[in-house]
Chain A
Amino acid sequence: MATAPYNYSYIFKYIIIGDMGVGKSCLLHQFTEKKFMADCPHTIGVEFGTRIIEVSGQKIKLQIWDTAGQERFRAVTRSYYRGAAGALMVYDITRRSTYNHLSSWLTDARNLTNPNTVIILIGNKADLDAQRDVTYEEAKQFAEENGLLFLEASAKTGENVEDAFLEAAKKIYQNIQDGSLDLNAAESGVQHKPSAPQGGRITNEPQPQREGCGC
């Protein structure tokens, strides 16, 4: 077995939110497995997936928490916003009600995450254009007014699914470069590995992320 040549430099924590049945789990599945899950059961509580992507030559591990959309889980899922670097806020372009609820999701996201958390709005089920209930322009405007990234995607065809996760990661990475995201603190949703090795050479140099050992 060959040694995997990579290791990642950062871990970004994401959270996926939105109404029940908009396709949150399918988006995650499409992103991590590159497959469409046709008969996706309702998420119970919170599920979890990871994938390593590359942004500007840096390997980034995305740790994605997919929440249940059902109201009864709302109290539980709220606890997972903590320290998310990115939030994917999903609605279904064929169901207006899921779009109308966005403001309440956005309020939750804003209240429960860092000011730096990157929120991307995703109109899912873009393949069902014939049944469209929310226009692209309208959602685009909503996103602009609220300072969100925006994409229409389809978990079924895979269209824009990669981009949705990548765009958010790019933006987060940009925040890191700008220095607006403080990496030296816990729970920023980003974990940085300063001595990212490429050649498999590991040294025992002390890592500056934490000072002192509490145990």
Chain B
Amino acid sequence: MEKRYLILDDGTSFLGEGFGDLSNTTGELIINTDLNGYQEAITDPVYHNQIIMFTQPSIGNIGTNPQNYESIITSAKGIVVNQREDINQSPLKAQNLSEFLRERQIPGIWKIDTRALRQYVQSHHVQKASIVNTNDEHAFDQLTAAVLSNQQIQAVATPKPYLVPGSGMTIVVIDLGLRESIIRQLAKLNCNIIVVPWDTDFKGIISLAPEGVVISSGPGAPEEIDNTVLETIIKLQPCLPLFGIGLGHELIAIANGATVTKMASGVHGNHHPIRQIITNDILYADQSQTYQIERQSIDNNRLIITFVDLINNSIQGLRSRDYPTFSVQFSPEGTSGIDSGLDLFAEFTESILVRRRLNNNEFGI
């Protein structure tokens, strides 16, 4: 039994036991409320540089399985759980959770009263946390001094373009740290997918002759991202249908004059009701949100609000008034997905088909 501490940047510490990797780690502390799917969260690039605390009490019941990866590179800096289970359910070359974390050098801490921790974090606006062996002054100094990398996208996004061939329309995906499930969804619609590095410029994208562009989700603060992406979005908007997800959504908002701020407490789960304004329908989708678009900053002459989170009133979807550009904060592709039959990828490809018809000046079909 390895005694370890979870220490917070306001000077509090929680005693627990270490598992997985036993090194010291520092990251932004976020709270994940999914009832299933710990492995998906740990491998989600959105959680790059973050320490994930799970509210789900027993983690590890189904072991780990390569099928459940959201990306090959694991991103999380650490995990905090109440009870860890070392169960290996799949017979084939699967690992239990501790083995999985050890191999990927991710520290875990358990026997933490996660409910008490969550209540504390919510009322004290904790940002950073470390998992360490001793909770002495030195450890707190280091935590306070730690500057979390603003190079998160560079760390998780592809450095080189690659092709996922398909027989249908060509779609460029700007990779800001995408989840594999985005590719899976586009592939399901037979798209010919070209994934390009985050800093690919307008010309570079147009030269690939896509019929639409997806701007992916990814980790980190949108305001810290190099202006290249914003310029690309501004130039692409009048030319091609754009679909932004997560970080991509935040960047589309900024490109259209809105501002983005950090939330007091983020939302990481799939339990919040989200209203689709146009139909008044309510749906549930995976959310992993730390930043939100300022409502007052939205220019109603340029953007329409299309989705809203009913719990915290945050903007979950936008659409341009002038261009075929739309974006959502939540994950329309996540493993827990959307249940209401809303299919934004289909909406995206359908809007491309419409353009194709209009541009070719076709009659009928």
Is this pair of chains taken from one and the same complex? no
